[in-house]
A and B are shown apart, each in its own frame.
Chain A
């Protein structure tokens, strides 16, 4: 389900509205994922604190959103634009790609809570498609 020009425009428009709150979105989505999907905690056994608002969660949420920002900038060619991130996830982090969908869902829930008027059904479908394509691009180098 590739991104149409309409999808890309909708994603960029939504991103313009939410990007100032990106750090908060990332931190909330990550903290939320660790609570709602406890199996994801297995990737962070090296962190002293997994609670919402903790230093590692806040810092990492920011990092994740920097990746999303990179994806928005490379929306016209996600698979080549995210090659470095794909290699990181494939060879070093070795995150099961199923988790990309999980985090994507949490991101959308957080955006819904923080930007209920902006996250219309039309914005929802475009963002859902974008995050699916982002996940696919991140999986590119896995095998």
Chain B
């Protein structure tokens, strides 16, 4: 069972209630595809991913980035049981999407960078620690049902 302090809960709730999903989602996903190009293997049907510019302006990637970011909402709402909350999504990523779970950490790191860029000096070490803890729990839950 993951333990959350009141402060950690407040930090996570605050980050997500001030989030511009349509901006951060696409930025995080496109950054992931650019910084870790092998992740493009999961997006073969998404159209032109030929270079960084194409990735950044690809409407399918943008829509998917927003979708993925909203996927984190259920973890925010169920912080005390993220493992069970993501059981179904874990099965989906394993059985249907066949995503190597190592990739979850890569996207999490890119999301951290995008949030850091948005929050600037407001992204204090304490907030970074809490956000990364949250993402680590999500990443672990998403990999849980792989076999």
Contact = CB atoms under 8 A, between A and B. Distances in A.
Looking at chain B's contact residues, the main secondary structure is helix
B117 A36 contact: no
Contacts of A119: 113, 117
- Consensus secondary structure, chain A interface: helix
Contact of A121 (B34, B125, B126, B128): B34
B118 A125 contact: no
A116 B125 contact: no
B22 interface: no
Nearest to B123: A113
B34 A109 contact: no
Nearest to A126: B35
Contacts of A105: 109
B121 A121 contact: no
Interface residues of A, number: 20
Interface string B70-101: 00000000000000000000000000000000
A56 B72 CA distance: 38
Interface string B28-57: 001100110100000000000000100110
A114 B118 CA distance: 10
B35 A36 contact: no
Interface string B101-132: 00000000100111011111101011011001
A122 B34 contact: yes
Interface residues of B, number: 24
B129 A109 contact: no
A35 B126 contact: yes
B52 A109 contact: no
Given A35-B125, A108-B113, A112-B113, A121 B120 contact: no
A79 B121 CA distance: 34
Interface in A68-125: 105, 108-110, 112-114, 116, 119, 121-122, 124-125
25 contacts: A32-B125, A35-B126, A35-B128, A36-B125, A52-B125, A109-B112, A109-B116, A109-B128, A112-B114, A112-B117, A113-B119, A113-B120, A114-B120, A116-B118, A116-B120, A119-B113, A121-B30, A121-B56, A122-B34, A124-B34, A124-B35, A124-B113, A125-B34, A125-B35, A128-B35
Interface of B: 30-31, 34-35, 37, 52, 55-56, 109, 112-114, 116-121, 123, 125-126, 128-129, 132
Interface of A: 31-32, 34-36, 52, 105, 108-110, 112-114, 116, 119, 121-122, 124-125, 128
